[in-house]
Structure 1
Amino acid sequence: MELTVGPNQFFWDAAIWRDFYLRLADEAPVETVVLGELVCSKRLPFYQVHFPEVVERLQAAGKTVAMTSLALITLKRERKLTAELADMGLEVEVNDLSTMAHLAPDTAFSVGPLVNVYNEGTLGWLAARGATRICLPPELPLSSIATLAKAATIPIEVWGWGRLPLAISGRCYHARLHDRAKDNCQFVCGDDPDGRAVDTLDGQPFLAVNGVQTLSASCANAAYQVPGLREAGVASLRLSPQSEGFVSLCGLFRELIDGKIDAETLSAKALPQAPGGRYADGFLTGIAGVDWSGDQATAQHHIARA
């Protein structure tokens, strides 16, 4: 099983962004890295000047590099940016199907988790159109993942770590929170490098926001589900970037996949820097998205010891 670093969902200072990926190139035991802007096209000019250096360094380290499309392409400027992706000479990861209109029929591409690949027909159509890798939507249960992986003729990837992408809106939550217009947001989303927590009126963790994006409050962690995912035929786990401890996290997942540590060890070591401070893998187990297998495993361990 391989590891893929998905596109950074958040807005970081350009120097921090650059150093993050250069360190990934030198130290992270991952096979694929997806670069680019997924959430807000206004962020892109701040760091795109570093693309050539980062791509060269990642490729020199033996990593496959892809460029993501935006999750929601609406403006003429964004359509132009999307058309230019194909000219970079790198694999394009499609996260908005309108991206495919800008790809030549014989151009290979990959598909990100924001495209609704829920059945064998969609999967087969994308593969026939040229998809070489598909990361399934994170809300699919393990039973559906197994069905799709069995039907697939290309590698299937599953979300393994990070705040789950739930929705993209035309409205910028960060700008509205600070009484600013979307066009004059002053990039306030940069104040929350792993998203801003949103609680219910009675103080319960609910969601997180990231500019125009809605995310899960908790951090998805598929560690306890790796055996089932491997048995289902999943080829790769996707790890979503976070501002602290990410290279170490990549190492922990590599050790887990290689059988050097167990899910309990990984989860305990990674928790202090997990966005939201708590885990969930309930979408995979098919019960409720917020559920966490580690709670059940810990309870069973205590029962066994008693």
Structure 2
Amino acid sequence: MDVTKPDLSLGALLFNWPAAEVRDFYFRIADEADVDVVYFGEAVCAKRRPFIAPYFEEIITRLQAGGKRVILSSLQLVMDRKDMAAVADMVAMADDFLVEANDMAACSLLGGRTFAIGPSVNVYNEATLRFFEKEGAVRVSLNAELPEASLRALAAAATAHLEVQVFGRIPLAISARCFHARAHRLAKSGCQYVCEQDRDGLTVDTLDGQPFLAINGLQTLSHRYLNLLGEMPKLQEIGIRGFRLSPHTADMVQVADLYRGRLDGRIGGQEANARLAALVPAAAFANGFFHDVAGLAEISA
């Protein structure tokens, strides 16, 4: 793969789907999705890792056979020695795979190697970007909250391959508390994996009944789906080279084909938005952060 060219990537699956369905999802991505890069690994809750472990090697092999570059994603929150050991095990694979560091524990272990920075590590300015580049970061997935002006400044200073999320609910925060368990009056230690009931996250309403956020175990996400189809030409113009889709229960093969058409200039913005709305009919979209307004806003591009 030519890393100097724009690429389309599929971020790590954030939600708790049944393990066999996760396997089948990645097999279909391997065989049918027009994406260049696939991030793979449990990034949200360490308790979910054992379920996918039996399929780990099989999924990676299938993705590689399908021509995808596999990047391993680490946990966003390391809370104990067991979690740290899991991160260390992933770092041990860094000779064979690029590893995406999603917290500073992983960054500390990867320093001096070639690695990627995930969107849960805050890179808001040129000095931070330069620090990670000197440590070995060759790919940096920037925070979805950054406006165009910040993205432009970072792209002008970057030597690393900069990536921006362009589809899916935006990860906003992660906590040691399990909101899903609390919502079902369960303790985190006995959560019964209730997050599996909400395949795209559990909607959180305001007191007056307006959908506002979504929860996914330890994670808080936006309720609206980020959609930067209209902004992709501008992103390319300012120097962003990676375009990241976050997996949801929508037909991600068709979503990827739509974003590929937009990336290649074969589909106009208005047509692309109409087609995406048909693919994800229950979703409300947002692009406010890019336009430096409230993130949940939808601004015409």
With normalisation by structure 1, the TM-score equals 0.93
Question: For 1:179 and 1:154, how far apart are their aligned partners in 2?
Answer: 45
Correspondence list, 1:140-289, <5 A? 140-274=146-280, 277-289=283-295
Note the C-alpha offset of 1:210: 0.3
Question: For 2:60 and 2:101, how far apart are their aligned partners in 1?
Answer: 18
Matched, 1:113 2:115: no
Q: Deviations over 1:49-87 (max 9, x none)?
A: 111111111112221101111111011110000000022
Matched, 1:14 2:30: no
Matched, 1:92 2:67: no
Q: RMSD of aligned C-alpha atoms?
A: 1.3
The 8 Å contact of residues 42 and 73 in structure 2, kept in 1 or not, is answered as: yes
Matched, 1:137 2:143: yes
Q: Deviations over 1:236-271 (max 9, x none)?
A: 111000122111100000011111212222222222
Q: Deviations over 1:26-48 (max 9, x none)?
A: 11111110000111000010012
Question: For 1:209 and 1:252, how far apart are their aligned partners in 2?
Answer: 27
Matched, 1:51 2:56: yes
Instruction: State the identity as a percent.
Output: 45
Structure (1/2) with the larger helix percentage: 1
Correspondence list, 1:29-48, <5 A? 29-48=34-53
The 8 Å contact of residues 79 and 176 in structure 2, kept in 1 or not, is answered as: no
Question: For 1:152 and 1:71, how far apart are their aligned partners in 2?
Answer: 24
In the alignment of these two chains, the number of paired residues is 294
Secondary structure of the residue that 1:3 maps to in structure 2?
Answer: strand
User: CA, structure 1 residues 165+86, in 2 after alignment: closer, same or farther (shift >3 Å)?
Assistant: same
Question: For 2:204 and 2:107, how far apart are their aligned partners in 1?
Answer: 34
Which AA in structure 2 matches 1:91?
A: L
Matched, 1:78 2:83: yes
User: CA, structure 1 residues 86+132, in 2 after alignment: closer, same or farther (shift >3 Å)?
Assistant: same
Structure 1 gap segments, 5+ residues each: 298-306
Note the C-alpha offset of 1:154: 1.4
Note the C-alpha offset of 1:119: 0.5
2:3 equivalent in structure 1: none
Note the C-alpha offset of 1:272: 4.3
User: CA, structure 1 residues 125+275, in 2 after alignment: closer, same or farther (shift >3 Å)?
Assistant: farther
Q: Deviations over 1:177-228 (max 9, x none)?
A: 1110000000000000100111111111110000010000100001111111
Which AA in structure 1 matches 2:270?
A: E
The 8 Å contact of residues 255 and 279 in structure 2, kept in 1 or not, is answered as: no
Which AA in structure 2 matches 1:187?
A: Y
Note the C-alpha offset of 1:114: 0.6
Structure 2 gap segments, 5+ residues each: 1-5
Note the C-alpha offset of 1:275: 8.5
Question: For 2:67 and 2:285, how far apart are their aligned partners in 1?
Answer: 31
Question: For 2:294 and 2:207, how far apart are their aligned partners in 1?
Answer: 21
Secondary structure of the residue that 2:231 maps to in structure 1?
Answer: helix
Secondary structure of the residue that 1:179 maps to in structure 2?
Answer: coil
Question: For 1:219 and 1:134, how far apart are their aligned partners in 2?
Answer: 21
